[in-house]
Structure formats: C-alpha cells, structure tokens
Amino acid sequence: MNNPLRLGIAGLGTVGIGVLKILKQQSALLSIRTGREISITAVSAQSRNKDRGISIASFAWEDDPITLATRDDIDVFVELIGGTDGTAKTATEAAIAAGKHVVTANKAMLAIHGQALAEAAEMNKVSLRFEAAVAGGIPVIKALTEGLAGNTINRIMGVMNGSCNYILTRMESAGLTYAEVFAEAKELGYLEADPQLDVGGIDAAHKLAILSTIAFGTRINFDGIELEGIERISIEDIRHSADMGYKIKLLGVSQKTDRGLEQRMMPCLVPDSSPFAQLQGGTNMVAIEGDAVEQIALRGPGAGEGPTASAVLADICDIARGHLMPVFGQPANTLTKSPSAKSVMSAPYYLRMTIDDKPGALAKITTIIGDAGVSIDRMRQYGHANSSAPVLIVTHNCTRTAMDEALSAIKNTDVLGSDPVVLRIEAV
C-alpha cells in the first residue's frame, strides 16, 4: 500500500490540466489522506507541444492512448478524452483487460456501454470510477453508492446541465430570446462542439441514466428516457411562467414503479420558491429521496476545470486507499432489466399555442381538451399577431396520456397556427 499510485492520463483539455494542477498543488495533502504518493507516469493528448500553462516535460509521452492504457508502469488509466465510442472506449477496454483501474469523466460512454464495461471491470477485479461524469464537482455518485447505501431510493430529480441552466436563467434576467442567448453561450464556450448534446438534453440524459442505474439497481437504459430539449422555449414562455410564479428548468426525474422505470429529461415549470428555481448559471442540483433519509439535496458547480478535476481526484484517492467496490454499487450481473414506463402520475400542464383568429377557433380547442378528460384551470389570450392569436392554457392535474390525446387531436384541427409547446408543472 506504500508504493506510489502511478497514473496514466489520456486527455489534457480543461479537466486533464485541472487534474495536473491539483496533483501538483496538493501532493503532500493527498499523500497524507491516502497513505501513499500519487504520481503521474505518462500522458497522452492530440498535441504534444501545445502550450497548456503547465509543464508536462517530466512525464512520458504516448501518442496512442491505447498504448498508454496498457503500460506496465501505470496502475490507473485516467480517461479524459470523451466520446461515446472510438478511442475513449477502446482505450478503457484495453486498460481493464490489462488489469488497470480506470477513472473517467465520460458520461456518454457509460450511458451507452456502462453495463459491458462494468462487467469487464468486475471480472478483472479492477475499479471503474466516474464521479466526474455526473454533476461536475457534486459528489452525487459517492452519495448514492456509499452515503445512502442503507436506503431504498424512491426518486431522483436534478438540474444537471449547466449550459441549459445558463441559457434559461439568462433569458429571464436579460429579457433575451433563446436565439440570442444561444449565440452568446456558444461565443463564451459554454456549449459542446455539438450544441445539441447540451440544448437537446442529451448530456443531461446521459447523467440521469447513470444515476438511475445506481439508485434502482437496473441496467443502463438511456434509450428509455423521455427526452426533450429546451430549443422550443421562448422568451414568452419565460415571461408567462414568471407571471404565474414559476421558472423553467431542464429537469431530470427518475423513479422505479411496478410498471417499470420512469425516466424523463425535459423542460418543466417549477415553483419559484423551490430550491431548483434558485439555481443560476452553471449550477447543478440533484435531489435524492430515500426511505430512511427522506430527501437530501446536493448543489454545486456542474462543470469547469476545478470542480470536475476535483471529482476525478476523489476517485483516484479511493483507489489509492485500496477501495474496490462494484461499479454501480452492486455487482453488475445483479442489475435487473427494467422496462421503460411512462409516468402515470397526474400533474398540471402549461400549454402555449397560436390559433387562427377566426370565430369558433378557441372553442374548438377547449372542446378537444375537455373531451380528452383534461380540465382547464386558467386560460389567457394575448394580443393578436397578424391573423393569429397566442393562447396560454394551464390545466388542472391530468395524466400525460390524456394530455397527449388532446395534443394529437389539436394538431389535426384546421385552426392551429403553430405546434403547441407543452411543459409539465412539477411539484418540487
């Protein structure tokens, strides 16, 4: 246990450099806390000569991350390359096969290939750790696998994408349109190279799939998530929600039912008095409900050099201490296959649409909604725009099935000027 723990780090972007900085600055403290020295043997990245603001001259260099992953003189392969497949996955598999522990921040890889990787790691008796893959610096993985191990988890809710939260809060505070704030976020570097991963809810859904597996003992089921991004949220939706005492958040919800596993990642209205509504900018928050602990909330920075590198170091420290546990908190071969289930829990819904400005149009819409068994709580019709009229409807509690039935019928009418925007109102 007193031998140094030797790292091979693949990927020297923002997070990789953050890991190097923490290891340099906190070397003595880490040794005291883990009982052994933690050192870097070799690194790999796309460019060897790039100026990263920190010297890498003392580390061996590997052009090929797969070669790095299988070096005899490393104990832990730190995968910070990213991507669902390709080099990241191949190098991770090679490291596991070579008997190396793996620490990764790659939520996309885990959300798609987590089951197979977990089985391989456990078969080879090595760790596969991924605290940094979900919610940046918030220790939510450790909370689920360790701190709440004595609980049956009932539900998980979370705001888990800082870019989306930035866009929505910036729209509200500055009165800007979605397009304007999207352009701003892109210019500031807040969005992935493929922005759809952020604004389409995909990045956050990857995280929800991982949390669901740990919380409910089920196999990863990313495809089973009801997924909707924030692209259709307008400044009018932001303002209407505020008028009613709500804020819009991209909210993930997961819970196990007798019908299967419910997972949804979509924009929702939350009361402006709720903790979720208070989140600004890139802040993330995950709320966990357990039978013994009731509800706890973890809040903090969801991304960035320091917070994400901090999470990577937490996993490295556990490996240095000799902690070896199942990847998802229980043996991978005991994880159950759970069917996807759509929520049957009733909730009120916010519905915005534009209808043709002609006699009987609004009556036709309200009749359809009533015929689907959906009761209207309040309704507002705003100033006309050309030959159309914006309409806002808030329903009483109803099921999503009933709402979908109403929407299907509405879309088949001849009075609809634009596709409706529908948002669930969550009681959080």
Catalytic residue list: 207
**Residue 359 CB partners (closer than 8 Å, separation 6+):** none
DSSP structural state of residue 104:
E
Q: How far apart are CA 304 and CA 301, in angstroms?
A: 8
Q: Residue 130 and residue 78: Cα distance in Å, rounded?
A: 10
Q: How many CB atoms lie within 10 A of CB 39?
A: 16
Burial of 47 (0-12, 13-18, 19+ CB in 10 A): exposed
Rounded to an integer, what is the distance from CA 331 to the centroid of its chain? 23
- For residues 326 and 390, what is the distance between their CA atoms, to the nearest angstrom? 53
List all residues 6 or more positions away from 201 whose beta carbon is below 8 Å from its beta carbon.
161, 164, 227, 228, 229, 230, 250, 265, 266
Task: Indicate the helix (H) or strand (E) that contains 203.
Answer: helix 202-216
